[in-house]
Amino acid sequence: MKSYESLIIIKPNLSDSEVTTLIETIQGWITANEGEIVLSKPWGIKELSYPISKFTQGHYYQVQFNATRKTLVEMRNRIRVTESILRDLNVTMESIQSKNPVQEEVASIAE
């Protein structure tokens, strides 16, 4: 299994309970397909850099999880057909950690 991080932007016109339900659904997609959630963090409503589908804000949601390739493909397929999701970004945790020069500098200072 690999470690992944996803950032998902949800439409701002959903109520808090609808956003919570959608987040629980996303977590269910991961766990139902042999995935394990490490971190689940809703960031709240944030301004978008540019309008997406005429929206200038969105509910941001971050999730870190361990999963197989099958889990990631299934999650992407479900996100693609969910109208309440404006955008998403999936990256491997390796790519984040290995290319962050600030973390490397802090680690070398700590030693």
- CA–CA separation, 108 and 111 (whole Å): 5
Q: What is the tens place of the pLDDT at every residue in 55-96?
A: 999 999 999 999 999 999 999 999 999 999 999 999 988 776
* Whole-angstrom Cα Rg for the chain: 15
In the DSSP assignment, the letter for residue 27 is H
Please tell me the pTM assigned to this model: 0.81
Q: Considering only CA atoms, which of 70, 111, 62 is closest in space to residue 91?
A: 62
Ordered structural domains, the chain, with CATH? 2-110 (3.30.70.60)
3 state SS of 35: coil
- Work out the number of other CB atoms within 10 angstroms of the CB of residue 90: 16
pLDDT 10s digits, 9-59: 999 999 999 999 999 999 999 999 889 999 999 999 999 999 999 999 999
